[in-house]
């Protein structure tokens, strides 16, 4: 419950922080922290223009996308307080619920019958498909390390590993950050700053969305960021008491946002056809982590 | 005495190998028929009438007279050219027949069976195999029939080679076999002569897969 | 006994009736007959699942010996799912076939085969005698063959049918050998002889026997590399037949494998790992090829292969569980497999029915031609979408439940097993995730290309929504899908009996060992429901907003390009292009490319035909070589009398000569020795 | 009772030969059938009896005699239809029916004969009567087929005779009565194995012509192709059985000698080669009759493999022989209808049979299932047993290639039959298609039903007869 509220709260300012970081990094006096939310609320109020080729799918997809992310967020715990939904193997549920949103996002892009959005959809589908094994093997190895299969238990137990577990934690963090970037189609994979055929994935998928739907999608991205941030945060929380957990959580989220901002301002986008390899590298990295875990547990000798 | 006759028979095979004319073949058949009669007659243990009649019937009447005459008639009727036209040169066939004879000879020597006249055995087998060889090396259909008769002669000798006579019934069967099959074949040669120009086997290789 | 008599009575009565009535009514007769047969068998099955096992001993003939028909929970489970899909299939098909009324013949054959196939399937589930089993099996195979070749004036269809027939025949030959082996050791054709065999023979032999059975049933089920008949047969068949085949006919192979696992009590660990390995390959390969297909039904056929892979992973896990005496893993594995069998039979038949609607609406199956159908056939579109979500294993539908159980099993295995064993499990996990991702990829492509956007080529005939009789069975299936998705616990509790047969090997009853983690399934439905609610809430709020704010419609934003055409939108093959580039080394594609050349370029084009690499390597190539070799030998019957005589002569001479030559050699050797 | 039967049938044959009237010939044929059946029943009654010490009725004889009598009914009655649809020529008809009667008579006698040479004589007569039947059409093709058949058969029978001579050499002096099968069974263990081997080689190679095995199967194909279909039905079933009888009785003789393993090897080679050759040509030929002829070759190969394998294989071989006779004769009779519909035997120009003759087309489909030994065909049971026997006899190395070949055969046969049944032919005018009397198809259905019934649920007496026929071969 706590985690849900916190994540939703942090999502309000997340992209604000990112943009702020970027503007500072590029020496501009950028917009305020709240600017993105203001835009989104304006979008909520606006009317919309729909393509004639679209159907009910296009109308309902953003809502489902948003709902799926909310649902996924409910699974995420905070320190020693469970998420709203928590059971053995809940991260399977987590991944699949996100997949529902993705599914509709993709077909809504196809619904417009545009020559651009299909391209974005195709890439979104491919990259998220390639990213999924990394996530599952990561969770699998964490589960193997701790002996549990639900976020809450895993993260509770994770902190008390040996020192090697910190190394593992670092790898895990890196993988999670990368997955997050891929899922939100941000920097190393895609560049949100530019538009149309330059931003090949996400922005091009939502070319035809406008008004309320666009707002929903925008905020969904914020929520996703916050969600992954929460995952990363959880890896370092353990079951510290609540009065420690919450500030720690918030600071980690902010840190994550800053990191994202810095990453975006100081790195360049890959060429599209390099992305696939890059994402597969993540999977192999997670496999590496898996073997690391095996070593830690002494099962591998 | 029998040995001489049988050797003559074997030589007739060699002659068959190098002969060129169909008429020569027919003559050879007659000769063989006579030889068979001689051999059978000498072989005959107790000379009762029935056996004699039978031998006469089978050798002289059928093998030495009826069949050759019939063959002549067929050749005339279908005005088949008088050349035998073998696939392989006579020289080769001569060698092959000789080899056949030698091999059968060796085989018969390998077998050490008390109650078996080797010479009969050799003659019979060589007649059989050279007959088969002639069939597969000659072009004309009529030659096939003639060679078939040669094989039959070999079989006859073999049945003599068997120490004990067969029951009469069986010999009758053989007779019927020779008689019917030869005449049947002859009739068919006439039929074939109707459809094909010259009695050439090449005409009769339509049915194939 | 009464059941059997009435079963046979109904069957033959309806067969005669079908032969009698005219083409329009044959379908109706078939529906009634199927309903009666299903009712009859379902009663038995339900009784069995209620706890009383149905056993029937027939005297049999001098050949078969005693024939025992037994319906245990496993059979009952399969009988029920067979009946459901058979019913939906016949109701759908009765309407579907109306389109062929102009085709004079074949209706009688078709419907008779349908009933026979259904009956055969049911008997296969119950027969416990090798010969009867094989007979029922072949009846099923042959009638399925006649179902496939309904459009038999097309050479292509006939070829596909024969392909299916021959591969099924190979399957039955393998099974026959296996049964022969058993009976030659034990002297009995009863299934009870198989455990006897296992107890008497070396473990290795038992494993080989299991292997034989696996191959035999695997061909039916479509495990790679025995899958090659599937992608040909399904597109060739009428859609309801494809639905039934993919839904239940290939499942009978799964049934066979499960039955043999029950009977052949061997080192389950090896079997488990073997099955797991094959299944992972099957699943990944199936979906990889599904992705590159243009023909919708072929795409669905490859997805059947993929799902068989998932089921197989479940079975493999279960076997591993039995091998390591872990009731929990056994439960998870087999429960996942059985539930996914049911689920797949549901959504795959639904997908094929949808494909049937599309085919009769547009008379094409090529996804490159279709598009925008959601406007003309909304029902079909929604049904297809639901089925697609279900087959991708997404909540709140049934596919998610079974895949979730399998995931549970995998993680349980990974967490509890020592190092070398768990490696394959992590591979399986990788595979399963990949399958899920690719499936989503594939069905976004399929749904998007078929139903969304605008039609890419001018419609051959104006597509229109199918009639109610075709939609009703589809909605029935959707009902079942949602039921399993939202209230899984009901089905889980039913599953406990069949799964109990497997856990029984470990002396543990199913509901006892049913892992605690499964309790969550009770909540999963609730969570899925919650998802739906949230969506509904947001959507409502959104539409309220729409009222106050102004909404307008215009053309799709073409980045300033003013004259967009339907051809410009993303096609199915361009949608998967990135993937194709990635996976090219593993696939085999026929490409025909004509580039744009010259100052005034003429018409250029580019077509790609996906081939099946396994088929090329394992079937086509050896077959070609074999035929060439055979053809070389066809000089024997050359019509030359001399040769015919020579054959005899040569035969005799060889038989006489070879020993003689040997004799001579020996003689010569002795001679040398004497010197 | 045999002498009256022989004389009677010879008289009837003669009468048929000279008679010119349709009605009379019909009556004669019917009387012959009645006589045939009367004789059959009589023999069944007096099973085990020996008449004129050259004929004895053992289980094998009874089985094959009944098979013959059953098949001869449709073969003879359908001949009517067949002949009259041809340009009706009383002369040809006379010869045809006379030959048919002679053929059936000689087959009967050959089955019954208990003396190796008597069998041989009657087999010889079958050759002659068969040649008359093949010649019936009197065109180039039939002349060629007849020529080849007569010639190859005569040669092969010479082989058989030579074999018999070798056998008598083996017997040596003082065994004039040794040529009776019972005698041989008793004497054979003590005989000189060399001559026994020679005898076996020649007798086996000789009978392969009738039996339809490598090496001498060749002429039989042309005969079955060119003969009128009722005759072909007899050729591919009961005429092959006569070869089997001749071989099998002698095989039983050598089976209880020391050369039994050797003979098994010889037979095995021939059998496998036959199946192989059959496969080669079934993949190639486009003439449906020839294709079926080759399929008979394949089945004979299987039967021989059953004998080779031993054990239950002996039983299975006989079962397969009988069931195959029914199935294949029915199929050939159906081909007659097919030919009548399309006026050709070439598969390319036959097609969409379903449209012209529904019962016939359905029959073809069923017959395909039955003849390729798919369950529930009775042949499946026999093949099942044969494979079982090979498996148990340690012939696995042979079983696997055989199974592969059989699969190819099924593929080819299925491809062609389905093409004929379904795919419309090119350039075929459907105007002058004459309807087929479905009553005849009915009798073919009966034969198929017999195959399935005898296979799946054999009556006790049938099984007992089979077991009795192979009782001395139990090892």
Summarize pLDDT for C265-300 with one digit per residue, the tens: 888 888 999 999 999 999 999 999 999 999 999 999
Helix axes C327-362, C488-503, angle to 10 degrees: 130
Report yes or no on C611 lying in a domain.
Answer: no
Q: What is the pLDDT of residues A29-46, one digit of tens each?
A: 889 899 999 999 999 988
Q: Is D215 on the interface with B (CB under 8 A)?
A: no
- pLDDT at residue B73, as a whole number: 85
8 A C-beta contact, residue C112 and residue C13 = no
Higher-pLDDT residue of A6 and D340 is: A6
Provide the whole-model pTM: 0.93
Higher-pLDDT residue of B176 and C490 is: C490
- pLDDT at residue D81, as a whole number: 63
Beta bridge mates, C589: C610
- Decide if B137 and C642 are in contact by the 8 Å CB cutoff: yes
- Decide if C162 and D156 are in contact by the 8 Å CB cutoff: no
As a whole number of angstroms, the distance between CA C334 and CA D260 comes to 54
3-state secondary structure of B16: helix
The neighbours of chain D, by the rule of 3 or more Cβ pairs under 8 Å, are B, C
- Decide if A51 and C524 are in contact by the 8 Å CB cutoff: no
- pLDDT at residue D300, as a whole number: 96
Least confident piece of the model among B170-174, C533-537, D261-265, D454-458 = B170-174
Report yes or no on C6 lying in a domain.
Answer: yes
**B202 contacts on D by Cβ (under 8 Å):** none
Which of D144, D168, D281 minimises the CB distance to B209? Answer: D281
- Decide if D387 and C177 are in contact by the 8 Å CB cutoff: yes
- Residue B116 corresponds to which tokens in the numbers above? 């078996």
- Residue C113 corresponds to which tokens in the numbers above? 């085969």
Which of B107, B110, B136 minimises the CB distance to C642? Answer: B136
The neighbours of chain A, by the rule of 3 or more Cβ pairs under 8 Å, are C
Distance from CA of C221 to the nearest CA of A (A): 27
3-state secondary structure of B135: helix
Q: Which residue of A has its CA nearest to C530?
A: A71
Whether residue C366 has pLDDT greater than 80: yes
Average pLDDT, chain C: 90
- Decide if C63 and D456 are in contact by the 8 Å CB cutoff: yes
Whether residue C141 has pLDDT greater than 90: yes
3-state secondary structure of B21: strand
Q: What is the pLDDT of residues C199-243, one digit of tens each?
A: 888 889 999 999 999 999 999 999 989 999 999 999 999 999 999
Buried b or exposed e, range C579-598, using 16+ CB within 10 angstroms = bbebbeeebbeeeeeeeeee
Q: What are phi and psi of C589, to 5 degrees?
A: -120, 135
Q: Which residue of D has its CA nearest to C169?
A: D407
Distance from CA of C429 to the nearest CA of D (A): 38
- Decide if B205 and C646 are in contact by the 8 Å CB cutoff: no
Q: What are phi and psi of C187, to 5 degrees?
A: 75, 20
**D418 contacts on C by Cβ (under 8 Å):** 149, 152, 158, 161-162
Q: How many CB pairs under 8 A join B and D?
A: 108
Report yes or no on C651 lying in a domain.
Answer: no
Q: Which residues contact A95 (CB under 8 A, 6 or more apart)?
A: A132, A135, A136
**C646 contacts on B by Cβ (under 8 Å):** 132, 136
Q: Is C562 on the interface with B (CB under 8 A)?
A: no
- pLDDT at residue D388, as a whole number: 93
Q: How many CB pairs under 8 A join B and C?
A: 38
Q: Is B191 on the interface with D (CB under 8 A)?
A: yes
8 A C-beta contact, residue A117 and residue A196 = no
**A301 contacts on C by Cβ (under 8 Å):** 419
- pLDDT at residue B167, as a whole number: 57
Q: What are phi and psi of A167, to 5 degrees?
A: -55, -45
- pLDDT at residue C104, as a whole number: 66
Establish whether the linkage from the previous residue to D215 is cis, with ω within 30° of 0. yes
3-state secondary structure of C226: coil
- pLDDT at residue C550, as a whole number: 82
Whether residue C144 has pLDDT greater than 70: yes
Q: Model confidence at D400, in pLDDT bands (50, 70, 90)?
A: very high
Q: What is the mean pLDDT of residues D404-422?
A: 93
- Decide if C372 and A294 are in contact by the 8 Å CB cutoff: no
Distance from CA of B108 to the nearest CA of C (A): 11
Beta bridge mates, C590: C609
Least confident piece of the model among B80-84, C13-17, C178-182, D165-169 = B80-84
8 A C-beta contact, residue D130 and residue D238 = no
- Decide if B195 and D140 are in contact by the 8 Å CB cutoff: yes
- pLDDT at residue A159, as a whole number: 67
According to DSSP, residue B83 is labeled B
Q: What is the pLDDT of residues D230-272, one digit of tens each?
A: 999 999 999 999 999 999 999 999 988 889 999 999 999 999 9
The secondary structure of D352-394 as a DSSP string is -HHHH-HHHHHHHHHHHHHHTT-TTSHHHHHHHHHHHHHHHTT
8 A C-beta contact, residue B152 and residue B178 = yes
Q: Which residues contact C100 (CB under 8 A, 6 or more apart)?
A: C106, C107, C150, C151
HSE-up (13 A, CA, CB side) for residue C330: 30
What's the sign of the alpha-carbon dihedral C156, C157, C161, C162?
negative
For chain C, the first-to-last Cα distance in angstroms comes to 84
- pLDDT at residue D84, as a whole number: 57
Provide the domain limits for residue C10: 1-207+248-263
**B192 contacts on C by Cβ (under 8 Å):** none
Q: Which residue of C has its CA nearest to D389?
A: C184
The neighbours of chain B, by the rule of 3 or more Cβ pairs under 8 Å, are C, D
Number of domains chain C contains:
1
Q: What is the pLDDT of residues D78-136, one digit of tens each?
A: 776 665 565 667 888 888 899 999 999 999 999 999 888 889 889 988 998 999 899 88
Report ipTM for this prediction.
0.91
Strand pairing class (C67-71; C54-58) = antiparallel
Whether residue C16 has pLDDT greater than 70: yes
- pLDDT at residue D299, as a whole number: 96
As a whole number of angstroms, the distance between CA A190 and CA A199 comes to 6
Q: What is the mean pLDDT of residues C99-113?
A: 85
Whether residue A109 has pLDDT greater than 80: yes
HSE-up (13 A, CA, CB side) for residue D161: 31
The neighbours of chain C, by the rule of 3 or more Cβ pairs under 8 Å, are A, B, D
Q: What is the mean pLDDT of residues C623-644?
A: 89
**Reduced 3-state DSSP string for C276-299:** HHHHHHHHHHHHHHHHCCCEHHHH
8 A C-beta contact, residue C492 and residue C335 = yes
Q: What is the mean pLDDT of residues D388-397?
A: 91
Tally of CB atoms within 10 A around C196: 16
- Decide if B209 and C663 are in contact by the 8 Å CB cutoff: no
Q: What is the pLDDT of residues A254-287, one digit of tens each?
A: 999 999 999 888 888 888 778 888 888 898 999 9
As a whole number of angstroms, the distance between CA C129 and CA C68 comes to 6
Higher-pLDDT residue of D32 and A158 is: D32
- Decide if C408 and A88 are in contact by the 8 Å CB cutoff: yes
As a whole number of angstroms, the distance between CA A124 and CA C308 comes to 27
Q: What is the mean pLDDT of residues D335-348?
A: 88
Report yes or no on C28 lying in a domain.
Answer: yes
Residue carrying structure tokens 């005034």: C600
**Reduced 3-state DSSP string for A7-31:** HHHHHHHHHHHHHHHHHHHCCCCCC
Low-confidence ranges of chain B (pLDDT < 50): none
Q: Model confidence at C81, in pLDDT bands (50, 70, 90)?
A: very high
8 A C-beta contact, residue C96 and residue C360 = yes
Question: Is there contact between D and A if contact means ≥3 C-beta pairs under 8 Å?
Answer: no
Tally of CB atoms within 10 A around C20: 11
Distance from CA of C157 to the nearest CA of D (A): 11
Higher-pLDDT residue of D84 and A65 is: A65
The secondary structure of D66-88 as a DSSP string is HHHHHHHHHHHHHHHHHHHHSPP
- pLDDT at residue C330, as a whole number: 92
- Decide if D266 and C655 are in contact by the 8 Å CB cutoff: yes
**B116 contacts on D by Cβ (under 8 Å):** 169
Q: What is the pLDDT of residues C550-601, one digit of tens each?
A: 888 888 887 777 777 888 888 888 899 889 988 888 888 888 888 888 888 8
Q: What is the mean pLDDT of residues D3-18?
A: 92
Q: What is the mean pLDDT of residues C304-311?
A: 96
8 A C-beta contact, residue C396 and residue C308 = no
8 A C-beta contact, residue C301 and residue C365 = no
Report yes or no on C97 lying in a domain.
Answer: yes
- Decide if D176 and B111 are in contact by the 8 Å CB cutoff: no
Residue carrying structure tokens 């190979």: C170
């Amino acid at each position: 419950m706590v985690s849900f509220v916190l994540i939703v709260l942090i999502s309000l300012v997340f992209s604000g922080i990112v943009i702020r970081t970027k503007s500072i990094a590029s020496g501009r006096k950028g917009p305020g922290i709240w600017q993105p939310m203001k835009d989104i609320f304006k979008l909520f109020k606006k009317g919309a223009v729909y393509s004639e080729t679209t159907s009910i799918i296009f109308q309902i997809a953003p809502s489902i996308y948003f709902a799926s992310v909310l649902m996924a967020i409910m699974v995420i715990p905070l320190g020693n307080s469970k998420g709203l939904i928590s059971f053995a193997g809940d991260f399977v549920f987590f991944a699949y619920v996100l997949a529902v949103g993705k599914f509709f996002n993709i077909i809504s892009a196809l619904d417009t019958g545009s020559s651009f959005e299909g391209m974005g959809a195709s890439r979104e589908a491919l990259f998220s498909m390639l990213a999924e094994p990394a996530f599952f093997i990561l969770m699998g190895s964490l589960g193997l390390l701790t002996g549990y299969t639900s976020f809450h238990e895993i993260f509770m137990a994770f902190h008390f590993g040996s020192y090697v577990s910190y190394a593992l934690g670092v790898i895990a963090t890196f993988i999670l950050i990368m997955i997050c970037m891929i899922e939100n189609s941000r920097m190393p994979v895609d560049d949100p700053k530019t538009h149309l055929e330059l931003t090949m994935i996400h922005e091009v998928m939502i070319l035809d969305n406008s008004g309320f739907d666009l707002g929903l999608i925008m905020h969904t991205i914020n929520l996703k960021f916050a969600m992954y941030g929460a995952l990363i945060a959880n890896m370092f929380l353990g079951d510290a008491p609540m009065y420690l957990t919450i500030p720690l959580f918030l600071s980690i989220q902010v840190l994550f946002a800053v990191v994202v901002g810095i990453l975006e301002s100081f790195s360049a986008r890959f060429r599209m056809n390099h992305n696939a390899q890059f994402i597969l590298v993540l999977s192999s990295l997670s496999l590496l982590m898996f073997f690391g875990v095996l070593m830690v547990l002494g099962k591998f000798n | 005495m029998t040995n001489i006759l049988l050797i003559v028979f074997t030589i007739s095979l060699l002659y068959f190998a190098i002969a060129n004319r169909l008429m020569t073949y027919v003559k050879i058949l007659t000769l063989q028929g006579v030889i068979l009669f001689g051999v059978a007659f000498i072989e005959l243990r107790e000379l009762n009438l029935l056996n004699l009649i039978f031998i006469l019937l089978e050798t002289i009447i059928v093998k030495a007279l009826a069949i050759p005459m019939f063959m002549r008639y067929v050749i005339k009727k279908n005005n088949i050219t008088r050349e035998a036209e073998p696939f392989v040169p006579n020289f080769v066939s001569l060698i092959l027949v000789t080899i056949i004879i030698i091999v059968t000879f060796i085989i018969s020597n390998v077998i050490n069976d008390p109650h078996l006249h080797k010479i009969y055995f050799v003659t019979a087998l060589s007649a059989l195999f050279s007959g088969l060889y002639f069939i597969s090396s000659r072009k004309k259909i009529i030659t096939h029939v003639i060679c078939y008769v040669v094989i039959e002669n070999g079989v006859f000798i073999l049945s003599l080679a068997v120490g004990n006579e067969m029951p009469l019934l069986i010999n009758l069967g053989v007779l019927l076999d020779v008689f019917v099959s030869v005449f049947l074949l002859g009739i068919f040669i006439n039929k074939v002569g109707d459809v094909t120009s010259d009695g050439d086997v090449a005409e009769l290789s339509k049915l194939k897969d | 006994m009464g059941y059997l008599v009435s079963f046979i009575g109904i069957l033959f009565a309806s067969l005669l009736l079908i032969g009698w009535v005219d083409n329009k009514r044959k379908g109706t007769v078939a529906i009634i007959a199927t309903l009666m047969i299903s009712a009859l068998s379902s009663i038995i099955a339900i009784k069995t699942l209620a706890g009383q096992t149905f056993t029937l001993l027939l005297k049999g003939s001098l050949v078969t010996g005693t024939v025992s028909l037994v319906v245990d929970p496993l059979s009952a489970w399969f009988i029920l799912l067979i009946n459901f899909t058979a019913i939906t299939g016949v109701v759908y098909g009765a309407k579907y076939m109306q389109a062929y009324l102009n085709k004079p013949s074949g209706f009688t054959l078709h419907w008779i085969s349908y009933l026979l196939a259904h009956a055969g399937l049911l008997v296969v589930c119950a027969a416990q005698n090798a010969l009867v089993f094989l007979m029922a099996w072949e009846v099923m195979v042959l009638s399925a063959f006649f179902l496939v070749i309904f459009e038999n004036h097309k050479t292509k269809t006939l070829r596909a049918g024969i392909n299916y027939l021959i591969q099924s025949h190979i399957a039955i030959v393998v099974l026959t050998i296996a049964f022969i082996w058993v009976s030659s050791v034990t002297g009995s054709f009863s299934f009870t002889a198989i455990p006897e065999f296992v107890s008497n023979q070396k473990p290795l032999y038992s494993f080989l026997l299991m292997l034989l059975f696996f191959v035999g049933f695997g061909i039916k089920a479509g495990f790679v590399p025995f899958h090659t008949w599937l992608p040909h047969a399904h597109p060739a068949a009428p859609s309801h037949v494809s639905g039934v085949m993919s839904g239940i006919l290939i499942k009978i192979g799964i049934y066979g494998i499960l039955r043999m696992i029950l009977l052949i009590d061997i080192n389950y660990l090896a079997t488990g790992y073997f099955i797991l390995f094959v299944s992972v390959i099957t699943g990944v390969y199936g979906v990889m090829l599904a992705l590159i297909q243009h023909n919708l039904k072929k795409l669905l056929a490859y997805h059947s292969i993929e799902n068989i892979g998932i089921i197989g992973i479940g079975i493999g896990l279960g076997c591993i569980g039995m091998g390591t005496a872990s009731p929990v893993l056994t439960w998870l594995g087999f429960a996942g497999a059985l539930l996914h069998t049911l689920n797949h039979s549901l959504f795959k038949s639904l997908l094929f029915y949808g494909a049937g609607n599309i085919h009769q609406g547009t008379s094409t199956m090529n996804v490159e031609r279709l598009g925008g159908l959601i406007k003309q056939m909304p029902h079909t579109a929604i049904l297809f979408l639901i089925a697609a979500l279900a087959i991708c294993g997404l909540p709140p539908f049934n596919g998610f439940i079974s895949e979730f159980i399998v995931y549970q099993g995998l993680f349980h295995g990974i967490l509890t097993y020592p190092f070398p064993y768990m490696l394959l499990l992590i591979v399986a996990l990788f595979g399963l995730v990949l399958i899920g991702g690719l499936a989503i990829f594939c069905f976004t492509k399929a749904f998007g290309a078929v139903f969304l956007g605008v039609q890419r080529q001018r419609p051959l005939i104006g597509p229109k929504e199918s009639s109610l009789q075709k939609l009703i069975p589809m909605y029935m299936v959707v009902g079942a899908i949602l039921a399993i998705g939202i209230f899984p616990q009901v089905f889980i509790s039913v599953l406990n009996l069949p799964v109990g047969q497997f856990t029984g090997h470990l002396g543990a009853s199913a509901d006892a060992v049913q892992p605690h983690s499964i309790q969550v399934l009770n909540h999963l439905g609730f969570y899925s429901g919650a998802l739906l609610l949230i969506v509904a809430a947001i959507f409502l709020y959104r539409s309220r907003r729409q009222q106050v704010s102004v909404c307008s419609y215009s053309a799709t934003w073409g980045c300033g390009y003013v004259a967009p055409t339907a051809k410009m939108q993303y096609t199915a093959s361009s949608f998967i292009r990135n993937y194709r580039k990635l996976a090219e080394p593993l696939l085999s594609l026929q490409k025909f490319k004509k580039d744009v050349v010259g100052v005034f370029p003429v018409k250029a084009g580019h077509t790609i035909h996906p081939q099946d690499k396994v088929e090329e390597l394992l079937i086509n190539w050896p077959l070609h070589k074999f035929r060439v070799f055979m053809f070389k030998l066809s000089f024997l019957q050359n019509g030359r009398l001399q040769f015919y005589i020579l054959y005899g002569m040569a035969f005799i001479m060889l038989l006489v000569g070879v020993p003689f030559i040997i004799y001579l050699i020996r003689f010569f050797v002795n001679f040398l020795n004497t010197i | 009772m045999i002498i009256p039967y022989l004389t009677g049938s010879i008289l009837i044959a003669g009468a048929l030969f000279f008679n010119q009237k349709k009605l009379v010939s019909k009556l004669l044929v019917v009387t012959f059938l009645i006589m045939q059946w009367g004789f059959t029943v009589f023999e069944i009654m007096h099973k085990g009896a020996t008449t004129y010490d050259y004929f004895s009725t053992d289980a094998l004889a009874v089985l094959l005699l009944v098979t013959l009598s059953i098949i001869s009914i449709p073969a003879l009655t359908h001949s009517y239809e067949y002949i009259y649809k041809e340009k009706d020529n009383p002369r040809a008809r006379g010869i045809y029916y006379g030959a048919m009667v002679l053929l059936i008579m000689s087959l009967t006698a050959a089955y019954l004969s208990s003396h190796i040479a008597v069998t041989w004589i009657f087999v010889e007569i079958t050759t002659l009567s068969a040649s008359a039947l093949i010649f019936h059409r009197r065109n180039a093709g039939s002349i060629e087929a007849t020529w080849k058949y007569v010639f190859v058969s005569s040669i092969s029978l010479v082989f058989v005779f030579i074999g018999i001579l070798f056998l008598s050499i083996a017997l040596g002096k003082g065994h004039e009565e040794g040529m009776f099968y019972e005698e041989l069974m008793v004497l054979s263990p003590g005989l000189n194995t060399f001559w026994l081997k020679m005898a076996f080689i020649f007798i086996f190679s000789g009978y392969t012509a009738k039996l339809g095995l490598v090496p001498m199967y060749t002429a039989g194909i042309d005969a079955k192709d060119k003969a009128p279909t009722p005759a072909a039905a007899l050729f591919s079933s009961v005429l092959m059985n006569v070869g089997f009888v001749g071989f099998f009785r002698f095989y039983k003789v050598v089976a209880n000698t020391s050369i039994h393993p050797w003979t098994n090897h010889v037979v095995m080679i021939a059998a496998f080669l036959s199946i192989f050759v059959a496969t080669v040509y079934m993949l190639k030929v486009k003439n449906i009759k020839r294709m079926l002829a080759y399929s008979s070759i394949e089945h004979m190969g299987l039967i021989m493999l059953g004998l080779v394998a031993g054990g239950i294989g002996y039983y299975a071989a006989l079962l397969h022989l009988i069931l195959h006779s029914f199935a294949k004769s029915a199929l050939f009779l159906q081909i007659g209808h097919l030919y009548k519909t399309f006026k050709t035997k070439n598969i390319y120009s036959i097609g969409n049979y379903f449209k012209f003759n529904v019962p016939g087309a359905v029959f073809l489909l069923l017959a395909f299932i039955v003849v390729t030994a798919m369950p529930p065909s009775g042949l499946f049971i026999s093949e099942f047993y044969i494979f079982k026997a090979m498996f148990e006899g340690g012939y696995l190395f042979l079983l696997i290639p055989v199974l592969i070949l059989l699969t190819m055969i099924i593929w080819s046969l299925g491809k062609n039959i389905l093409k004929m049944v379904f795919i419309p032919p090119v350039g075929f005018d459907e105007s002058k298609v004459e309807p087929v009397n479905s009553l005849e198809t009915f009798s073919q259905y009966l034969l198929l039903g017999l195959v399935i019934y005898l296979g799946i649920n054999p009556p006790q007496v049938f099984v007992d007869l089979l077991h009795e026929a192979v009782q001395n071969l139990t090892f």
